[in-house]
């Protein structure tokens, strides 16, 4: 019986397993192979590999004009954005979790960015936002962004805060967060959904105990809500990092190197190096969070 169950179980996952081996294991191996070789397209449309060792890697790190900058900025932006997105979405989820009038409407609006995440749509919406905040009639994006700076100078209002005794690093971070608020909001749709679902799954008995023991809202958050959210914070961090990576300039670079400059080997190096870095980042972050994570069961 258990043997039969085992076979049926394997049958259930069989389509995925075949796909995984054929499309992931094999292709990852191929990417590695490409990165170590010079690829030339034969006239018949096929391709030939000739082994060149680490040449592609050396070229990418020593000679390529922009790879290193693009890689570091992509990574840096990711590290800066992820905590902002996580805290923002947790905050919004807690706000939306309570019952209030018009909650359905608010939720409909907040999940709208998930529906509108096509490249073309995002681009057009970013441009519109510039126009709306700049208070201009439609014109080409260059003009709008140039003129937008002249009409609404966010920088001026932010400079007012410079005299506070905040360390410049913190101030820069906050200024960056404020100026990217729309990016952060549009990138948090799925995370808000995950957090709301997670908040619903916290047993209400825990909150009841808190109330009886006389804990304040602040204490309740740090002693109950936040620890219970920890596992989901991990899920969200993974999702956010992967999502941010897919949209990062380093991916565009890999794409254009392969399909407009036809340097397939180099493009494989870019993909491989950036993926490895992202995986490393994920492992580190997940490890750090996991150490502090409390699992209910």
Partner 1 sequence: MEKLRKQIRRIEQSPVYADVKNGVKKGLKEKLFSVFRFVIILGISYVILAPVIGLVSSSFFSNADAYSPTVFTIPMAPTLERYQRAIVHLKYLPTLGRTMLFSISLTLIQLMVCSMAGYGFARFRFPLKKLLFACVVVMIVIPSYTIMLPLYVTFRDFDPLGLVTLLTGAPINLMGTTWPVYIMTGLGCGLRSGLFIYIFNQFFRGLPREIEEAAFVDGAGTWYTYFRIMLLNAMPAVITVSVFSLVWQYNDTFFGRLFLISNNVLLSKRVSSLQVNIRTLDKIMDPSIQQLYVSAGIVLLMLPMVILYLLLQKKFVESVERSGIVG
Beta bridge partners of 39: 49
- Per CB under 8 A, does 13 bind partner 1? yes
Burial class (CB in 10 A: 0-12, 13-18, 19+), 123: exposed
- Of residues 135 through 174, those in contact with partner 1 by CB under 8 A are 135-140, 143
Q: Which span sits near partner 1 by CB under 8 A: 74-82, 149-157, 166-174, 278-286?
A: 278-286
- Per CB under 8 A, does 255 bind partner 1? yes
Q: How far is the CB of 182 from partner 1 (least distance, A)?
A: 5
Nearer to partner 1, 161 or 296 (CB): 296
Nearest-5° angle of CA 288, CA 292, CA 297? 125
Indicate the DSSP class of residue 248: S
- How crowded is residue 133: how many other Cβ atoms within 10 Å of its Cβ? 14
- Per CB under 8 A, does 95 bind partner 1? yes
- Per CB under 8 A, does 26 bind partner 1? yes
- Per CB under 8 A, does 220 bind partner 1? no
Nearer to partner 1, 104 or 163 (CB): 104
Q: Say how many residues touch partner 1, by CB under 8 A.
A: 95
Nearer to partner 1, 9 or 162 (CB): 9
Nearer to partner 1, 47 or 294 (CB): 47
DSSP-assigned states of every residue in 9-65: HHHHHHHHHHHIIIIIIHHHHHHHHHHTEEEEE-TTS-EEEEE-TTHHHHIIIII-S
CA distance 123 to 117: 10
- Of residues 100 through 129, those in contact with partner 1 by CB under 8 A are 100, 104, 106-121, 124-129
Please answer whether residues 297 and 66 qualify as being in contact, where contact means their C-beta atoms are separated by less than 8 angstroms.
no
Nearer to partner 1, 103 or 223 (CB): 103
């Amino acid at each position: 019986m258990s043997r039969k169950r085992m076979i049926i179980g394997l049958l259930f996952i069989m389509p995925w397993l075949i796909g995984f081996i054929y499309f992931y294991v094999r292709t990852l191996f191929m990417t590695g192979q490409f990165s170590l070789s010079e690829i030339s397209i034969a006239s018949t449309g096929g391709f030939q590999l000739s082994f060149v060792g680490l040449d592609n890697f050396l070229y990418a790190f020593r000679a390529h004009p922009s790879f290193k900058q693009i890689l570091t900025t992509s990574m840096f932006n990711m590290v800066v954005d992820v905590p902002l997105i996580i805290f923002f979405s947790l905050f919004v989820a807690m706000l939306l979790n309570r019952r209030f009038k018009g909650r359905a409407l608010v939720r409909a609006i907040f999940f709208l960015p998930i529906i509108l995440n096509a490249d073309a749509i995002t681009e057009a919406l970013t441009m519109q936002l510039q126009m709306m905040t700049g208070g201009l009639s439609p014109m080409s994006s260059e003009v709008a962004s140039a003129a937008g700076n002249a009409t609404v100078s966010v920088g001026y209002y932010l400079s007012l805060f410079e005299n506070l005794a905040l360390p410049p690093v913190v101030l820069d971070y906050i200024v960056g967060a404020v100026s990217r608020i729309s990016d952060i909001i549009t990138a948090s749709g799925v995370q808000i959904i995950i957090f709301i679902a997670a908040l619903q799954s916290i047993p209400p008995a825990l909150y009841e105990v808190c109330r009886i023991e006389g804990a304040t809202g602040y204490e309740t958050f740090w002693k109950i809500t936040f620890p219970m959210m920890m596992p989901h914070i991990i899920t969200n961090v993974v999702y956010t990092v992967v999502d941010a990576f897919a949209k990062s300039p380093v991916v565009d670079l890999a794409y254009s190197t392969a399909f407009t400059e036809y340097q397939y080997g180099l493009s494989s190096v870019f993909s491989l190096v950036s993926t490895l870095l992202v995986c490393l980042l994920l492992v580190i972050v997940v490890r750090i969070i996991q150490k502090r994570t409390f699992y209910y069961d």
